[in-house]
Amino acid sequence: MKLSRRGFLGAAGALTLTSCGLDASPGQTAELLTSEAPLPEAFKVPLPIPPVKKPLRTAAGVDYYRVVQQKASLEILPGLKTEILGYDGLLPGPTFDVRSGRATVVEQVNQLDVPTVVHLHGGHTPAASDGWPLDLLMPNGEHHEHAGHSGMTGGDVKSGSRTYTYPNQQRAAALWYHDHRMDYTAPQVYRGLFGLHLIRDAEEDALSLPAGDREVPLILADRAFAADGSFRYPAADDGPGVTAKYMEGVIGDVILVNGAPWPVLEVDAARYRFRILNASNARRYELALDKGPARLTQIGSDGGLLGAPLEHKTLVVAPAERFDVVIDFTQYEPGTEVTLLNKLDSGRTGQVMRFKVARKAPDDSFIPARLSAYAAVPEPSGLVHRQWRFRRGNAGTHQGWTINGRPFDPENMQATVKLDQYEVWSFVTDVHHPVHVHLAPFQVLRRGGGKPGPYDAGWKDTVDIRPAEVVEVLVRFTAHRGKYLIHCHNLEHEDMAMMAAFATV
Ligand code: C2O
Ligand code: CU
């Protein structure tokens, strides 16, 4: 097993910087990888719902779980088998549905043939459980020395199983967990290592939001398939031309929702709550319904409920962002078919899934004008400002993506940040970069010097930054001291080193 390369695109030295991969679509910073397998007919398979993970046991204030990372062969395209790497052998993995303030302790068992790292995205997590990219979990039976190699000092390496502790000391929100292994996050997430982690609390319980069968996760992920049904993904062996081509990011031509291609969901003529997660490596979506006057009513963002609902005609969702959205199907007659579109693309990738309004039904849900106690924090004066520049670049032998001119170096803390103090961070881009900060959510203060954008409301942990744009955010870290990360969540950019470490002190 070779661990010493920039995994996704192999030897970084072989890369040359090509022109922007904007030919795929003007809204995408990525290159399209097409399927060799025939694309299935849309809107035939029912939307699958990932199972809710059951605890092994519960104790005072703690729930204990065990997840086995294993390969599985799934029928994603009709008549073909796809080998995946899955939490419990599932794609997406099981959904954790937990209470704010109750700790989740997860024993992760690695039965794969590659090292893994689990990160809880959006989690207010102690550093030891945050999934530092070198804190590898080696496959069962493999020894620690396999993890060490030149030029990379080890993290806390374990073999077989490792226990992650999530305090869940944070408000209700849709978090997600996914692989975070240094240099290999993109291929490992692509092959299936991602799932939802929902936190609930009393403030949310007090509302009468759509619930039960009317609260539905929509986990978006695009993929490309080889003729035999296996996932296509560029590899170092494909040669330097290919590696250079895909450094912009990989997008596929099949849209999966909860692991099924262009699925269909039968709904009552009632309100539904959709927990939308973009788990794609690099694809952005602009979601819209094809039958007006439909609106997407946003009730929450990455960091939980908004103060008040926001109406959108279309909703741009960048990789790793979550949107909590209500769709009111009472406006449609039974028998109506409503398609969820992706307006950033046309053709097959311009469609996401379909809703079939089946019947009239009672609905006692209610979307109040005031959803939560959330209110924007006024920007205090005299704060520390830090700038993070996200650019394509060279640094010595590294050719790829950089932050403040440097590729990721686990030994170098690019910032030391005091706990409990607000800071203003500004993110500056060359091309599109969805920027993510670990440990604490932030509020968007300004976009391009003006007001925040239409999708920036609430507490965010990932913000979509357009080409040559500056976004300023207000951030404050609390409780946990240690090493944390800021990085681009275009996973190919992340693996090509667009990541930086900072220390909280
Ligand atoms: Cu969703 Cu550092 O990751
Ligand atoms: Cu990026």
Write down the pLDDT at residue 3.
Answer: 35
- Find the farthest-apart pair of alpha carbons in the chain and give their distance in angstroms, rounded: 64
Closest CA to 494 of 63, 103, 179: 179
Helix (H, G, I), strand (E, B) or coil at 129: helix
Helix (H, G, I), strand (E, B) or coil at 205: helix
pLDDT(336) > 80: yes
Give strand ranges (E) for 333-481: 337-342, 351-360, 384-395, 398-403, 413-417, 423-429, 433-437, 442-447, 462-465, 470-475
pLDDT band at 244 (very low <50, low <70, confident <90, very high): confident
- Does 197 contact ligand 1 (Cβ within 6 A)? no
pLDDT band at 141 (very low <50, low <70, confident <90, very high): confident
Task: Assess contact for 302 and 461: CB atoms under 8 A.
Answer: yes
- Does 119 contact ligand 1 (Cβ within 6 A)? yes
Residue 218: enclosing H or E segment and its boundaries? strand 215-223
DSSP one-letter code for 203: H
Find the angle CA(221)-CA(160)-CA(409) to the nearest 5 degrees. 65
Helix (H, G, I), strand (E, B) or coil at 242: helix
Write down the pLDDT at residue 245.
Answer: 82
Quote the ligand 2 centre to 28 CA distance (angstroms).
11
Which homologous superfamily does the CATH classification assign to the domain defined by 384-504?
Cupredoxins -  blue copper proteins (2.60.40.420)
Helix, strand counts (H, E) of the chain: 4, 35
Mean pLDDT of 428-444: 97
Q: Which two tokens stand for residue 48?
A: 């699958």
Quote the ligand 2 centre to 248 CA distance (angstroms).
8
- Does 438 contact ligand 1 (Cβ within 6 A)? yes
189 alpha carbon, closest ligand? 1
Ligand 1 atom 3, closest CA: 121
Mean pLDDT for all residues in the chain: 92
- Does 277 contact ligand 1 (Cβ within 6 A)? no
pLDDT band at 153 (very low <50, low <70, confident <90, very high): low
CA–CA distances in Å: residue 181 to residues 119, 185, 253, 261? 9, 5, 26, 27
The minimum-distance atom of ligand 1 relative to the CA of 178 is 1
Ligand 1 atom 1, closest CA: 121
From the centroid of its chain, how far is CA 399? 25
pLDDT(12) > 90: no
- Does 322 contact ligand 1 (Cβ within 6 A)? no
44-201 CATH:
2.60.40.420
Quote the ligand 2 centre to 131 CA distance (angstroms).
20
Give bridge partners of residue 174 from the DSSP assignment: 198
Quote the ligand 1 centre to 119 CA distance (angstroms).
7
Looking at the chain, the domain(s) classified CATH 2.60.40.420 span 44-201, 384-504
Identify the burial level of 413 via C-beta atoms within 10 angstroms of its C-beta, where 0-12 means exposed, 13-18 middle and 19 or more buried.
middle
Write down the pLDDT at residue 143.
Answer: 65
Mean pLDDT of 417-432: 97
Length of the chain, please? 505
132 alpha carbon, closest ligand? 1
What CA–CA distance (Å, rounded) separates 139 from 137? Answer: 7
Residue type, 65: Y
Quote the ligand 2 centre to 458 CA distance (angstroms).
22
Tell me: the pLDDT tens digits for 177-219?
A: 999 999 999 999 999 999 999 999 999 999 999 999 999 999 9
What CA–CA distance (Å, rounded) separates 352 from 342? Answer: 6
- Name the least confident of 53-67, 289-303, 424-438: 289-303
Quote the ligand 2 centre to 32 CA distance (angstroms).
16
What percent of the chain is modeled with pLDDT above 90?
87
Closest CA to 129 of 144, 118, 116: 118
pLDDT band at 242 (very low <50, low <70, confident <90, very high): confident
Tell me: the pLDDT tens digits for 322-331?
A: 999 999 999 9
Identify the burial level of 325 via C-beta atoms within 10 angstroms of its C-beta, where 0-12 means exposed, 13-18 middle and 19 or more buried.
buried
pLDDT(112) > 60: yes
Task: Assess contact for 39 and 348: CB atoms under 8 A.
Answer: yes
pLDDT band at 397 (very low <50, low <70, confident <90, very high): low
Write down the pLDDT at residue 25.
Answer: 67
pLDDT band at 238 (very low <50, low <70, confident <90, very high): confident
- Does 460 contact ligand 1 (Cβ within 6 A)? no
pLDDT(97) > 80: yes
194 alpha carbon, closest ligand? 1
Helix, strand, coil percent values for the chain (each to nearest 5): 10, 45, 50
What CA–CA distance (Å, rounded) separates 5 from 92? Answer: 27
Tell me: the pLDDT tens digits for 398-411?
A: 678 999 999 999 99
Mean pLDDT of 2-7: 39
